[in-house]
Amino acid sequence: MKYILTGGPGFGKSSTLLALEMLGYDIVREAAEDVIKYNKANGIKAPWLETEKFQDDILELQLLRESKITGEITFIDRGSLDGIAYFEKEGLPLSEKVQGELERKKLNLEYDIVFLIESFGQCETNDVRREDLEEALYLEREIEKVYTNLGYKVVRIKERENIERAKKIERIIRGEESYIEEQNDVEENEYGSTPFMDWDNVPDSGDFDWSADPDDF
């Protein structure tokens, strides 16, 4: 079983992943941060300015890491389609590599559940996370649209503390806690995170509409 943790940058996704690792689960680290660190070590201070190459490098490392998964249950820091949101943000067409991964994912939904870590009004920034809160919320919405439009189950995690997020995720995958009814009743929170989109009523994955708004579902 493969589960991804995603959401806007700086919302605590990676810390929640570490909490899951402390609970004994296999994890796959985020590729983007390591690509940035690798480039900076080689004298490239802002690799994200070349969006296509940057996202292609992230995708390549992401898929390499996913190909090495052997555990029965693995949590992955971001999925291979998160990069689509960054192309949308820059108003750019998808690269050939990212488009190819999208077409592959249309035919095979490889992730069992997409857990989206909600914002709680803060966005941590550092030398590899540079987006402000407004940008991070935009990316959260776009990432959610990507996976929902493909037909994935997107489950929003609202807890503030990383260990509580991890424990909730654990209860869900064990079947100890239902999430469908709760998720469908979510209202937009005070920090700007958008509601969960009902994945039972999304278009067929072949009828992709990137302009769709979450409120349309």
pLDDT at residue 126, rounded to an integer: 62
Percent of the chain with pLDDT over 70: 78
**Segment among 78-87, 113-122, 179-188, 196-205 with least mean pLDDT:** 196-205
pLDDT at residue 187, rounded to an integer: 44
Query: 33-73 pLDDT, tens per residue?
Result: 999 999 999 999 999 999 999 999 999 999 999 999 998 99
pLDDT at residue 186, rounded to an integer: 41
Residue 127 clears pLDDT 50, i.e. is over it: yes
Sketch out the chain's domains with CATH numbers. Answer: 2-216 (3.40.50.300)
Which 3-state string (H, E, C) describes the chain?
CEEEEECCCCCCHHHHHHHHHHCCCEEECCHHHHHHHHHHHCCCCCHHHCHHHHHHHHHHHHHHHHHCCCCCCEEEECCCCCHHHHHHHHCCCCCHHHHHHHHHHHHCCCCCEEEEECCCCCCCCCCCCCCCHHHHHHHHHHHHHHHHHHCCCEEEECCCCHHHHHHHHHHHHCCCCCCHHHHHCCCCCCCCCCCCCCHHHCCCCCCCCCCCCHHHC
pLDDT at residue 208, rounded to an integer: 44
Angle formed by the axes of helices 162-173 and 13-22, nearest 10°? 60
Q: Sheet containing 113-117: give its strands across.
A: 26-28, 74-77, 2-6, 113-117, 154-157
Give CA–CA dist 215/99, Å, rounded.
26
Query: 167-181 pLDDT, tens per residue?
Result: 999 999 999 887 764
State mean pLDDT over 136-160: 93
Q: Which residue has the higher pLDDT, 64 or 203?
A: 64
Give CA–CA dist 82/18, Å, rounded.
20
pLDDT at residue 124, rounded to an integer: 66
Q: Within 10 Å of residue 9's Cβ, how many Cβ atoms?
A: 24
Average pLDDT, the chain: 84
**Segment among 29-33, 93-97, 146-150, 205-209 with least mean pLDDT:** 205-209
Residue 215 clears pLDDT 70, i.e. is over it: no
0.85 exceeded by pTM = no
Which is nearest to 11 in space by CA: 174, 139, 152? Answer: 139
pLDDT at residue 11, rounded to an integer: 85
